[in-house]
Amino acid sequence: MEGKLTWVEIQDGIGWIKINREKKLNALNRDLIDELHDRLVDFQKDSSLKVVILTGSGDKAFVAGADISEFSSFGPQEAAELIRHGNKALFDFIPQLEKPVIAAINGYALGGGLELAMACHLRIAAQHAKMGLPEVSLGIIPGYGGTQRLPDLIGKGNAMEMILTGDMIGAEKALQMGLINKVVPSEKLLEASINLAERIMKNAPNSIKNAIKSVNSAERISKGFQEENFQFSNCFGTADFDEGIAAFFEKRKAKF
Ligand code: CO8
């Protein structure tokens, strides 16, 4: 089924969602967040469906981040409102789903794109995928849970390095660090995602649901996420923000 910004299919107990903004490297705007939320709500209700696989269209990007053109003129209030909405509808919503969501990372997963992959329960990446949180190069910080979920996955030291440098890493390094569960040749990405889904689907749905809740309860939630929201909004309306965003649109390196 083709939506405005996503393509959806249910096949053999798997709910597929493909983000469909290839020309903009599947960048995440508010409409896309809302459409993804609606798709996931439908999937949650559908008892024929056991596992969700989320991927991006094309072979270049999973999601290259939040849509910079959408928030480029935002002040702190609008930024706070957009991340509050995005976190509620998607980034805090996915982890709580009762069905596992696998991110099939088919290319760049940057900024909000990596945060989206990290909100999923499991991650498989194509060999050519690149991952990073480049927000500091734009004069902002990760705002969709990245400062909390990245240290949970790869440890504080590695997360600090990725967040403070904004550098991208390749799929093999991401695997070594524990950021992803598996790396496969690009042409095997969907097959490997189905294989992982099938290994889960043979188990008791009620146990899967309870296991997700139980694992989630160990997260260092709330205070850290609130602090991230606050610090994220504080980056807006600053000279660094103006320079970072201008540099992106002018396709040059920012000079802070
Ligand atoms: N937002 C909007 N448009 C984008 C984005 C993005 N994140 N990424 C790529 N695009 C667009 C480009 O502008 C370009 O559009 P056009 O053809 O109209 O000029 C098109 O996609 C293709 O991109 P490029 O020409 O740049 O492709 P390259 O192969 O040269 O480069 C890169 C690929 C390296 C991935 C490059 O596109 C890039 O650096 N993109 C931005 C990556 C980034 O900084 N991501 C983080 C964004 S900030 C964020 O995610 C914050 C999350 C917190 C929440 C924010 C809510 C307020």
pLDDT tens, position by position, 194-253: 999 999 999 999 999 999 999 988 766 668 899 999 999 999 999 999 999 999 999 999
What is the number of the ligand 1 atom nearest to the C-alpha of 78? Answer: 57
Does any ligand 1 atom lie closer than 6 A to the CB of residue 80?
no
Distance of CA 152 from the midpoint of ligand 1 (Å): 26
- CATH number, domain containing residue 71: 3.90.226.10
In a domain, 195, yes or no: no
What is the number of the ligand 1 atom nearest to the C-alpha of 113? Answer: 50
| pLDDT over 70 percentage in the chain | 98
Does any ligand 1 atom lie closer than 6 A to the CB of residue 108?
yes
Does any ligand 1 atom lie closer than 6 A to the CB of residue 197?
no
In a domain, 26, yes or no: yes
Checking if the pLDDT of 12 tops 80, the result is yes
- Domain of residue 121 covers 6-188
C-beta neighbour count of 146 within 10 angstroms: 25
In a domain, 234, yes or no: no
Distance of CA 61 from the midpoint of ligand 1 (Å): 10
pLDDT of residue 218: 74
Does any ligand 1 atom lie closer than 6 A to the CB of residue 138?
yes
Does any ligand 1 atom lie closer than 6 A to the CB of residue 111?
yes
What value does the mean pLDDT take over residues 94-118? 97
pLDDT of residue 221: 61
* Per-residue pLDDT band at 3 (split at 50, 70, 90): confident
What value does the mean pLDDT take over residues 69-92? 96
pLDDT of residue 4: 84
In a domain, 179, yes or no: yes
Q: Give me the number of domains the chain comprises.
A: 1
| pLDDT over 90 percentage in the chain | 94
Annotated catalytic residues are: 115, 135
In a domain, 178, yes or no: yes
Distance of CA 112 from the midpoint of ligand 1 (Å): 11
Does any ligand 1 atom lie closer than 6 A to the CB of residue 120?
no
Tell me the pLDDT of the chain averaged across its residues. 95
Checking if the pLDDT of 30 tops 70, the result is yes
In a domain, 237, yes or no: no
In a domain, 250, yes or no: no
pLDDT of residue 219: 67
Pocket probe for ligand 1: among 28, 68, 114, the residue whose CB has the most ligand atoms within 8 Å is: 68
pLDDT of residue 24: 96
In a domain, 241, yes or no: no
Taking only the tens place, the pLDDT of each residue in 32-55 is 999 999 999 999 999 999 999 999
What value does the mean pLDDT take over residues 53-71? 97
Question: How much is the pTM?
Answer: 0.97
What value does the mean pLDDT take over residues 77-100? 96
